[in-house]
C-alpha cells in the first residue's frame, strides 16, 4: 500500500484527493474499526466487510417480528433501553436477545451501564431453576464495551476460565512485534445466573464486542453450542489518533487470542453448526431456521 500510494501524495495534493487516497488504502482492510474523519471538507469514511448473509435494518426488523410472533411465548421483557430482551420459547427454554453492549442508560458512563445490566440480569435469572436451556441471540449486535459481555458470561459459569488474551502492535516498522499477552478471565458471579445448557446464535452482523462475548463463551463448561454463521471478524479496541492537518483516524492495533493462541480477525468466530437464516423465503413464511436448530440442540434432539 505504501509503495503504491505514497508517490501520489505531494505538497500540491488537494485535501479531497488526499482523502480519496486514504480511503483507497483503508477500504481493502474491510474493518469497521477503521475510520477517517475530515471535518474541514465534510467527509468521513468507515470501513466495512460485506457479506451476502447480512441483513439491512428493514429485514432485521422483520426478522425480529418473526421471532416475537412465531416463537416467543408470552412476549419479551425489555431491559437496558431495549438492547437486552428476555422471553420464553417452547419447552421452558429461555431466549435472551442482546443487540448491543452500550447505550443501556441515558448517561455515557460505564459504571451506570454495568449497574443497569446487573439489575436486568438479576431479574432475568431469578427463576432459572425453571429453565431447561438458554438461547442467547447476538446475530444482530452492534458491539460496545467488552466488560459488559464478560458480566453476562460470569452469570453462566461456576468456574473461572480464560475468556481471551490480547496483544497490541508495538512497533511501526520491521517485523511485527507485539506486547506480552494481556489475559482476560471470566470470574463466576455470586449473583443469579444459569449454569445449564446454553446455545448461542451468531452471524455476520455480530460485530466487535458481540464477537469478544462469543469468544468469552468458548471456554465455558458445559460447552456453549454456537449455531448460525461466522461473526463479522472485528475485535480490536479502537486506537484513535489525529493527523497534523486535524483529520481524525481510527484503526485496530490489537489481536484477540483464544487459549490456544487462535485469532478470528477477518474470518470471524465460526459456529459449531452452520445454519443460514432469514432468507427472503424464510421471512415470507415466518421461519427462523437457526433458532429452530438451537431449540433441537437444547432439547437434546
The CATH number that applies at residue 273 is 3.90.226.10
Please check whether residue 228 lies inside any domain of the structure: yes
Cell 446455545 belongs to residue = 199
Q: What is the average pLDDT across 192-196? A: 97
Please check whether residue 35 lies inside any domain of the structure: no
Compute the distance between CA of residue 259 and CA of residue 270 in angstroms, rounded to an integer. Answer: 16
pLDDT digits 0-9 by tens, 250-271: 999 999 999 999 999 999 999 9
Range of the domain at 209: 52-238+252-298
Average pLDDT along the chain:
96
pLDDT digits 0-9 by tens, 217-239: 999 999 999 999 999 999 999 99
Cell of 241: 489518533
Please check whether residue 22 lies inside any domain of the structure: no
Compute the distance between CA of residue 150 and CA of residue 148 in angstroms, rounded to an integer. Answer: 5
Looking at residue 103, what is its pLDDT? 97
CB atoms within 10 A of CB 295: 21
Please check whether residue 21 lies inside any domain of the structure: no
Cα atoms in the 13 Å half-sphere on the side-chain side of 213: 33
Looking at residue 50, what is its pLDDT? 85
Amino acid at each position: 500500500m505504501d509503495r503504491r500510494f505514497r508517490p501520489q501524495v505531494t505538497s500540491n495534493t488537494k485535501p479531497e484527493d488526499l482523502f480519496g487516497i486514504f480511503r483507497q488504502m483503508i477500504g481493502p482492510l474491510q474493518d469497521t474499526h477503521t475510520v477517517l474523519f475530515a471535518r474541514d471538507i465534510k467527509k468521513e469514511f468507515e470501513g466495512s466487510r460485506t457479506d451476502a448473509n447480512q441483513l439491512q435494518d428493514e429485514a432485521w426488523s422483520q426478522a425480529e417480528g418473526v421471532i416475537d410472533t412465531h416463537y416467543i411465548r408470552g412476549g419479551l421483557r425489555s431491559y437496558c433501553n431495549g438492547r437486552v430482551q428476555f422471553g420464553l420459547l417452547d419447552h421452558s427454554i429461555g431466549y435472551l436477545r442482546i443487540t448491543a453492549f452500550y447505550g443501556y442508560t441515558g448517561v455515557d458512563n460505564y459504571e451506570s451501564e454495568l449497574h443497569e445490566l446487573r439489575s436486568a440480569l438479576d431479574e432475568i435469572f431469578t427463576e432459572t431453576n425453571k429453565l431447561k436451556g438458554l438461547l442467547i441471540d447476538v446475530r444482530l449486535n452492534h458491539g460496545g464495551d467488552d466488560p459488559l459481555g464478560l458480566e453476562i458470561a460470569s452469570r453462566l459459569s461456576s468456574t473461572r476460565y480464560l475468556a481471551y488474551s490480547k496483544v497490541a502492535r508495538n512497533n511501526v516498522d520491521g517485523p511485527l512485534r507485539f506486547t506480552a499477552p494481556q489475559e482476560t478471565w471470566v470470574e463466576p458471579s455470586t449473583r443469579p445466573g444459569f449454569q445449564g445448557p446454553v446455545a448461542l446464535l451468531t452471524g455476520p452482523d455480530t460485530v466487535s464486542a458481540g464477537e469478544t462475548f462469543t469468544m468469552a463463551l468458548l471456554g465455558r463448561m458445559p460447552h456453549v453450542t454456537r449455531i448460525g454463521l461466522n461473526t463479522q471478524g472485528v475485535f480490536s479496541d479502537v486506537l484513535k489518533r489525529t493527523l497534523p492537518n486535524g483529520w481524525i483516524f481510527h484503526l485496530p492495533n490489537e489481536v484477540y487470542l483464544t487459549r490456544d493462541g487462535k485469532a478470528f480477525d477477518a474470518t470471524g468466530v465460526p459456529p459449531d453448526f452452520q445454519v443460514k437464516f432469514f432468507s427472503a423465503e424464510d421471512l415470507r413464511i415466518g421461519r427462523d431456521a437457526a433458532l429452530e436448530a438451537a431449540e433441537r440442540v437444547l432439547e437434546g434432539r
